[in-house]
Amino acid sequence: MDLSGSTVLITGGTSGIGRATAELFAEQGSAVAFTGRDADRGTGLAELIRAGGRDALFIPADVRAAADCTRSVEDTLAAFGRIDVLVNNAGTYVPNDALGCSEEEWDAQVDTSLKGTFLMSRAVLPHMIERGSGAIVNNASGWGLVGGAEAVAYCAAKGGVVLLTKAMAIDHGPQGIRVNAVCPGDTETPMEVADAKRKGWTWERYVEWASDRPLGRMGAPEEVAKAILFLASEGSSFITGAALPVDGGGIAG
C-alpha cells in the first residue's frame, strides 16, 4: 500500500480519525493536505509531519462552505500539483431524537457530514477526471448502515454519505475514479469523550458500554485510518461503491 509520490487531501484532519489518517498517509510517503477549523492544532500537526521529512499543508476551512472547499482544492494543487486521494472525514455529532433535535443541530450534522462530502467531492472531481484516476474515501458510520438511538440527524447524515458514495462510484467509475466509504463503530476520539461527558458518565463506564461488540473493545483512530489507507491504495483496485464497517463486529448481528 505504498503511496510514495501521491497527494492526499483530508477534511477534518486536526484530531481523531482525521489526524491519524494524516499521520499514516505521511508515513506511507504521501504529501498531506488537511483542513480544519482549529488553527493551533492544524499548524502543530503540519509542523510535526514536516519534521518527519514529509510534505504537509494545513488549510483553515469549513467544509459547509462551497468557497472554502474550492479554495482547499486550489491550495492543495498549488502546493503539490496533484490530488490522488480525497478523504472526506469532517463530521460532528449531537445526540437527540426527532422531537428534541433543533434545526441548528440538524443543520450542523447534515451540513458537515453530508453536504461537506458533496461540496468537497464536487470541487476535486474535475481534477481527478482530467487525470483519469483518483480515489475518494468517505467517513460514514455504522449508524449510516443501521439506526441508532437518539441520533436522528447523525444517522440521516451518515446514511446519506453511504448512498452518496454509491452514487458517485457509479457515475465516476468509468472515469477511473473509485469511491468508497468506511463505517466506523465507537472509536476513541474527542467526539466520544464529549459524548461521555454529555451522558454524565465516567470514561471507564463509557468504554465498557461501547465495548459491547464481538471484539469486546472500542476501536482506535489508527485502525480506521488503516482501512482508509487500504481503500485509497492499489490494494483495493477492484473495490468501488463499498461501505466497509470498521466496528469490531458491532453491526454484524
Write the single-letter amino acid at 78. Answer: A
The one catalytic residue among 152, 154, 210, 243? 154
CB atoms within 10 A of CB 47: 11
198: exposed, middle or buried (C-beta count within 10 Å: 0-12, 13-18, 19+)?
A: exposed
CA angle 24, 244, 217 (to 5 degrees): 75
Q: Is 206 known to be catalytic?
A: no
Residue 148, classed as helix, strand or coil, is: coil
Secondary element (H or E) of residue 136:
strand 134-139
Distance of CA 112 to the CA centre of its chain: 11
- 127-132's contacts with Cβ under 8 Å and 24+ in sequence apart are 127/73, 127/77, 127/82, 127/83, 128/83, 128/86, 128/172, 128/175, 128/176, 128/177, 129/172, 129/175, 129/177, 131/82, 131/176, 132/175, 132/176
Query: Distance between CA atoms of 233 and 57, rounded to whole angstroms?
Result: 21
Q: Locate 150 and state its grid cell.
A: 437518539
Torsion region of 179: left, alpha or beta (phi above 0 gives left; psi -120 to 50 gives alpha): beta
For cell 497527494, what's the residue?
Answer: 7
Which are the catalytic amino acids? 154
